Structure 1
Amino acid sequence: MLKKPNYLYAPTNLEVPMNINFGEYFLDTLLEHGDRTAFIDAITHETISYGEIAQNGMNLAVSLARMGVKSGDSVAICTENRLDFWPTLLGAMLSGASVSPINPMYTRDEIKHTLGICKPKIIFCSPAAHKAHETSIKSFNLIRIAVYQEKIPNTYFFKDLISNKVRREDFLPVEVVGQTATLMILYSSGTTGLPKGVQITHYNGVVCCSIQKAPEGLDPMTVLSVAPWFHTMGLWGTVGNLCNGFTVVYMGRFDERRYLETIQRYKPGYCAVVPPILVLLAKSQLLQEYDVSSVRMMYTGAASVDLETVREVKRRFPNLMEVFQGYGMTESTLAVARDTVDGGVKPGSVGTMPAGFVVKVVDLETHEALGPNKPGEICVKSPTVMKGYIGKNRTEAFDNEGFYRTGDIGYYDEDGFFFIVDRLKELIKYKGYQVPPAQIEAELLKHPAVRDAAVVGRPDKAAGEVPVAFVVRQPGSEVSAEEIQEYVASKVSNPKRLRGGVRFVDEIPKNPSGKILRRILRDRLKAEKSKL
């Protein structure tokens, strides 16, 4: 009945629709903005309006229902950022299915693993993703394939699936129990290796949009983003932008000159960036050639940003009011803490909790809740926290009070601002991507010349962290570091490559139970740096 000491409680003034059906909530929000441009492709300059997304989403939902997709089923989307992504996302939601965006850059094994988790009835692919993964997808005999842009034999053509015209007054989204029904299956890599399936509910999604509402009086603006939509930051950040009526100019990948040209052409007031882009903009030799005066706000997350970089970016963008930071994860449907326009900013912090959150910071040994300015593991309870991992027991991720254990070490100050100190988890964060060392280690151990191996992250100002491998050669082997790097590059997706290099050692330090003592390896890397 009484609030617990040293627990941090946020206000609970959240607006949530009565039926808690995110598909219907999102559809009606899109229709409110009608003919307003929702997206602009920065490369092709193609556009799609809010109304077109809504219309094609309803059309697709009807087609999916005719194909037998129903509540409780899953629909996957494997594509690079493209305009058709959003009607597909909406249509799957409206059909009552859970939707699972999948990284098209995954390797064959990663694709098979994720498809084994979400078990979709149908997967939507870009032509490039279809070409890369057709064999892997077809190994799952029950999955049907739909392809954007190209008509390919034995697949559905996306344009045919949205060709019927459905009126909103005649359309009824499939009913769901929003508090428990899975809206999305996203992927978060744990320290044990391959991605885990994160179940996000309709309720999680509606609350996520509620806490991203723009302050009153802030007019809809143009946003520039390069974040991939299969990643929680790009996906839920963009959903939040749409719920505020913003126009999103997007790029499939970052190119410095193209990025600055896009700012000059479309004059965004707000740029969503990952920390490596901030570092590049702070050092850019091209920036002075372009008019970037439209940019008033930047928002970043996924990794920490040093104050010197923030100051330099502010200096070089003449009208930039603030670089807002945030801290979150896939399991919390984006943010746990964030800076806001109306909430103030503290240098070095990642902001304050959104409404509806309860957070405790616990001692790593005793698990007792700590007070202000005392670092410990951050544990979160909120209406945005996932309902659990697919196929995993909740006790693996939640404590006995129902708090999600983030595995991150941080603290809050007397004003409720959070500061991230370190990560208890072993994940390496490369340019905002979560890289699990165990997956790379598993590939290394398959190499005939490798006897033992361990992978840790080495700090890198541009990328956040880069993976470094410590390798024990098999007796008599003379395998080189370059050979090891090339081998790993052929087995894993791009962010997981050994950009930090390979160190050959006599043994891998481990505790009595066999767990790798990564701290010792990180200390060796620090010692190397101190000698430079």
Structure 2
Amino acid sequence: MVFYPPRSIPPLPLVPDTIPVCDFMLDEAHGRCPLSSSLHPFTCGLTGKTYSWLEVKDRVDHLSRALAREFGWHPNQGSEWDKVAASFLLNTIDTLPLFWAIHRLAGVATPANAAYSAAELTHQLTDSKAKVLFTCIPLLRTALEAANKAGIPQSSIYLVDLPAEVLGGPQPLAGFKTLDQLIQQGKSLPPLEKLNWSPGQGARTTAFLCYSSGTSGLPKGVMISHRNVIANSMQICTFENGFREKLKPKGQSTQYFDVTLGLLPQSHIYALVYISHVGTYRGDQIIVLPKFEIKSYLNSIQRFRISSLVIVPPIIITMLRNKDLLAKHDLSSVEAVFTGAAPLGAETAQELQGLFPSWAIRQGYGLTETSTVVSASLPSDIWFGSSGSLLPGFEARLISPEGKEILEYDTPGELVVRGPSVVLGYLNNEKSTKETFQGGWMHTGDEAVVRLGPRKTEHIWIVDRIKELIKVKGMQVAPAELEAHLLEHSMVADCAVVGILDEAAGEIPKAFVVKSPSAAGDDTTIAEAIKKHVEDHKARHKWLKGGVEFIDVVPKSPSGKILRRLLRDKEKEARRKAGSKL
């Protein structure tokens, strides 16, 4: 049984495949909101610094000229894989202009998570074969260590300016070129020739290489084409424009389609497409914050009259735990909340709704491999706990563990989807590509059910993850990555890592460890040593916040595959007996 978007949603218009993302975003011929000197797409939520759309267009043009001169890259020469540029940044108002300048040269932008350790960044730089790296002062030490290991010389590392509020005051920049210096150089350079793409070239040319653990295993480079980003942007706009026309922002936001919070990491597919491309394409103003801190978050909502909060469940939980602080701020401009990256429980959504009855609390579902959103709820059709209905252009099926297609509602199975934003595959990983992308369908690794909602529309409910991926505050953690690292410790003979439920983070990693014969000391001492081994080498969201439990043997199948479901069931039963509500 194939599931489709609601009939009330307009069909998806023709998605162009002869243009790069930068042209889609910066040329009014492709349906975007009018470019104007009075509209400012990106504004710093700390300082108020901003660029108009015409300034953004000029900055992209000048920066692309400078990059062409600096790196010897030219728009219509060579493969995109000869022009890979990495970014390792906190959120800035310059990040998207940087990406579009890279695309202007038909290059690939590979954004790295700002929480990465040097080892994790080294893996991405090496695997992507990045030639250059853009970073910022707070991340410079990690960037230098990783670049050195990946063979990127210091002369190919560039700095992007951040507000003094983030840096703690003025910082010396000696020895590194900055993004602004490149833009100034580009002003005096001759214009670049336009990209000359044949039909289908946008569909087969990679624009972004984002790293994901996919359905299992270590992080892999997801090849996202120009058409993939354009398609999902058009899918979301087609899906949302009808109700957004009826919800014009209030107060100072009337000149914009919406004023949206730009807090989520711009390196993550959720913020990269849903906020940064979709929002600015249709005329939103994005208020950019470098990281989450409850007071600056609330201050920015009040100061800039933000009308749309695009966030993740842990932020909602933090808000609910700080009701007194919320009451001290004017949040009357907020009209809607959109949450994704991890499921939002119905009870949590209901509590937030009770606090702010006028807010439309929507939820969506998507993956890096679908260039983000697959389904979302409409303000007129909200069903707490549901991930809403399919976007136009998507089809979905449910497959049983035995490989049979499920033909009725309320029956769980693996969610399999097809649509124009499904990506090209994984870089240099034919095995994983074949496992995930089969016959035009993408196997999500998520267990779902389809249910008829109160308005008789089909809703997607994500009920479990078949895949092994753990999501901590919306960020991906691959068990195999942590297991490989744990096995390097002398006290670990064997191990398995699973995600366990956590109220604040959604999930947190827990390790089940078989001690080696050489392990010395009591269990508490050994467990602390093992946790420190992870903390010394991995990003914070990968730390073993769920603890370490010692077992006699790791359950495995005859083929040697770790049976993590048995360990998850063991953990659930232990929590049930302990009276946990999670």
Shift in alpha-carbon separation, 1:192–1:416, aligned structure 2, 3 A: closer
**Equivalent residue in structure 1 for 2:210, among 166, 171, 186:** 186
Report if aligned partners of 2:395, 2:419 keep a CA contact under 8 Å in 1.
yes
CA spacing shift, 1:183–1:175, aligned 2, 3 Å: farther
Partner of 2:241: 215
2:158 alignment partner, one of 120, 131, 146: 146
Q: Does structure 1 conserve the Cα–Cα contact (< 8 Å) formed by 2:469 and 2:478?
A: yes
Name 1:69's counterpart in structure 2: 73
**Counterpart AA for 1:493:** A
Does the residue aligned with 1:25 lie in a helix, a strand or coil? helix
Amino acid at match of 1:380: V
Sort the Cα spacing of 1:378 and 1:528 in 2 relative to 1 into closer, same or farther, 3 A. same
Quote the offset at 1:18 in angstroms. 6.6
Q: Is the Cα–Cα contact under 8 Å of residues 211 and 355 in structure 1 kept in the other structure? A: yes
SS for the counterpart of 1:8 is coil
Of residues 287, 295, 304, the one that matches 2:343 is 304
Is 1:368 matched up with 2:438?
A: no
Flag the structure with higher helix content.
2
Of 285-294 and 431-440, the range deviating more from structure 2: 285-294
**Could you say if the C-alpha distance between residues 410 and 132 of structure 1 is closer, same or farther in structure 2, counting changes exceeding 3 Å?**
same
What is the aligned partner in structure 2 of residue 531 from structure 1? 577
Contact kept, 8 Å, 2:445 with 2:467, in 1: the verdict is yes
Structure 2 length-normalised TM: 0.85
Residue among 545, 561, 564 paired with 1:499: 545
Is contact 2:208-2:223 (8 Å) kept? yes
How far apart are the structure 2 equivalents of 1:157 and 1:30?
30
Shift in Å, 1:15: 4.2
Q: Indicate the larger mover: 59-68 or 451-460.
A: 59-68
> Is the deviation greater in 368-377 or in 181-190?
368-377
Q: Which residue of structure 1 lines up, in the alignment, with residue 53 of structure 2?
A: 50
The Cα shift of 1:353 comes to 0.9
Which amino acid in structure 2 is aligned with residue 115 of structure 1? L
* Separation in structure 2 between the aligned mates of residue 446 and residue 273 of structure 1, nearest angstrom: 36
Aligned-pair Cα RMSD in Å: 2.2
CA distance in 2, matches of 1:369, 1:92: 44
Q: 1:204 aligns with which of 228, 231, 239?
A: 228
Paired with 2:17 and 2:529, the residues of 1 have a C-alpha distance of 59
1:3 corresponds to which residue? Answer: none
Give runs of aligned pairs for residues 71-110 of structure 1, distance below 5 A. Answer: 71-72=79-80, 73-110=83-120
Does residue 39 in structure 1 map to residue 49 in structure 2? Answer: no
Structure 1 residues 361 and 18 mapped into 2: Cα distance closer, same or farther (>3 Å)?
closer
Q: Structure 2 CA distance, aligned partners of 1:192 and 1:297?
A: 34
1: CA distance between counterparts of 2:333 and 2:440? 44
**Unpaired segments of 5 or more residues in structure 1?**
1-5
**Matched residue, 2:144:** 134
Aligned-residue sequence identity (percent) comes to 33
Q: Is the 8 A contact 1:294 1:319 kept in 2?
A: no
Match of 1:295 among 334, 341, 352: 334
Q: Give me the whole-angstrom Cα distance separating, in 2, the residues matched to 1:433 and 1:290.
A: 29
Write the mapping of 1:339-488 to structure 2, written as runs, cut at 5 A.
339-341=377-379, 344-393=381-430, 394-399=433-438, 401-414=439-452, 415-475=457-517, 477=519, 478=521, 479-488=525-534
Report the TM-score when normalising by structure 1. Answer: 0.93
Correspondence 1:270-285 to 2 at 5 A: 270-284=308-322, 285=324
Q: Which residue of structure 2 aligns with residue 7 of structure 1? A: 2
Contact 2:86 2:130 in 1 (8 A): yes
8 Å CA contact retained: 2:12, 2:235: no
Give the whole-Å Cα distance in 1 for the aligned partners of 2:194 and 2:219. Answer: 31
Counterparts of 1:448 and 1:364, CA distance in 2: 38
For the 8 Å contact 1:41–1:47, the answer to whether it is kept is yes
Q: Amino acid of the residue matched to residue 347 of structure 2? A: E
Contact 1:37 / 1:50 at 8 angstroms: preserved in 2? yes
Aligned residues: 523
Mapped contact 1:326–1:337 kept (Cα < 8 A): yes
Tell me the distance in 2 between the aligned counterparts of 1:387 and 1:253.
31
Query: Offset of 1:182 from its aligned partner?
Result: 0.7
> d(CA) in 1 for partners of 2:460 and 2:133?
39
Give 1:340 deviation, angstroms: 2.8
Unaligned residue ranges in structure 2 (runs of 5+): 162-170, 249-256
- In the alignment, the residues of structure 1 paired with residue 65 and residue 97 of structure 2 have an alpha-carbon distance, to the nearest angstrom, of 12
How far apart are residue 370 of structure 1 and its match? 3.2
Cα displacement (A) at 1:227? 0.4
Question: Which range moved further: 127-136 or 142-151?
Answer: 142-151
Are 2:375 and 2:390, in contact at CA under 8 Å, matched by a contact in 1?
Answer: yes
Instruction: Provide the C-alpha distance between the structure 1 equivalents of 2:136 and 2:361, rounded to a whole number of angstroms.
Output: 34
Q: Distance in 2 between matches of 1:13 and 1:442?
A: 44
CA deviation vs aligned residue, 1:259-318 (integer Å, no higher than 9, x gap): 222222222111011001112222323112222111110000011112221122122225
- Shifted more, 86-95 versus 144-153: the winner is 144-153
In structure 2, do the counterparts of structure 1 residues 12 and 264 end up closer, same or farther at CA, with 3 Å as the change threshold? closer
For residue 296 of structure 2, what is the aligned residue in structure 1? 258
After TM superposition, give the deviation of residue 55 of structure 1 in Å. 1.1
Give the AA of the match of 2:355: R
Q: How many angstroms does 1:338 deviate by?
A: 0.9
Contact 2:349 2:384 in 1 (8 A): no
Q: Distance in 2 between matches of 1:224 and 1:388?
A: 30
C-alpha distance in 2 between matches for 1:181 and 1:420 = 32
Contact 1:379 1:405 in 2 (8 A): yes
Which whole-Å CA distance do the structure 2 matches of 1:453 and 1:17 have between them?
48
- Code of the residue aligned with 1:430 in structure 2: it is V
Report how far residue 180 of structure 1 moved: 0.8
Show the counterpart of 1:160: 181
Q: CA distance change for structure 1 residues 386 and 89 in 2, over 3 Å: closer, same or farther?
A: same
Q: Is the 8 A contact 1:21 1:175 kept in 2?
A: no
